[in-house]
Amino acid sequence: RFCTSNMASRRSSEKSRTGTDKYSVLLPTYNERENLPLIVWLLVKYFGESECNYEIIIIDDGSPDGTLEMADQLQKIYGSDKILLRPRAKKLGLGTAYIHGIQHATGNYIIIMDADLSHHPKFIPEFIRKQKEGNYDLVSGTRYKGDGGVYGWDLRRKLISRGANFVTQVLLRPGASDLTGSFRLYKKEVLERLVEKCVSKGYVFQMEMIVRARQLGYTIGEVPISFVDRVYGESKLGGNEIVSFLKGLLTLFATT
């Protein structure tokens, strides 16, 4: 609706830049054959309803389960202007997947999200509205505020999540409530600059992105989201993740 009104205002010869806004969704995938058609269907549904200009860039890292073949079918259904396939030969990590995706993105805004259905596309219109509301440099989904929340987490998982978040808030004071979430909307040039600066991997990468964003003086908006843990496939939070999280946290503590 808000994108339509922008189109309308453009037609009334008020040459506003917002009328030409385009949103590029980056979907890094690895073995998401089951989820990919569903997430794409949902993206098309909600972008269609909001009448925003968009494209979906699928960056598959050589999944052995045929994710790419599935992406190919989806491209045939929805068209190569909406679905772009930018596969890579093997698993090369999230940071480089974003760089790779940005290079091929034609939108002036980039949305990054997980392809495993834990991030629901219904929130994207809210992200866009929020971004326009304060002309924010980035808008981050948050599980920890307002109506935000999770589904499928037991007490242990919730405790670790809240505890880690509290420690991080105390040590880094990042000015954002959800640091490890990866459902975000960025201005393209902001994402480019941040990706260049960030070196961490995994959970810590998302945290570093938002901490450095604050350090560089970018403005951050937040939208509460419900996080529905992986419907298909395994989600894990073991000792290794916790150790690497703590290492990453201390690194950021000492360097930012």
Smallest distance, Å, CB 28 to another protein?
Answer: 21
Smallest distance, Å, CB 207 to another protein?
Answer: 13
Smallest distance, Å, CB 162 to another protein?
Answer: 5
Q: 212, 248 in Cβ contact below 8 A?
A: no
Which parts of 90-109 interact with another protein (CB under 8 A)?
Answer: none
Query: Considering beta carbons, is residue 171 or 243 the nearer one to another protein?
Result: 171
Smallest distance, Å, CB 44 to another protein?
Answer: 10
d(CA 160, CA 66): 34
- In total, the chain counts a number of residues equal to 256
Q: 113, 52 in Cβ contact below 8 A?
A: no
Residue 97 is which amino acid? A
Smallest distance, Å, CB 189 to another protein?
Answer: 26
Site membership for another protein, residue 120 (CB under 8 A): yes
Site membership for another protein, residue 85 (CB under 8 A): no
Which parts of 125-144 interact with another protein (CB under 8 A)?
Answer: 144
For residue 106, what are its two tokens?
A: 């034609």
Site residues (vs another protein, CB under 8 A): 37-38, 41-42, 73-74, 77, 117, 120, 144, 147-153, 155, 158-159, 161-163, 165-166, 170-173, 226-228, 231, 252-256
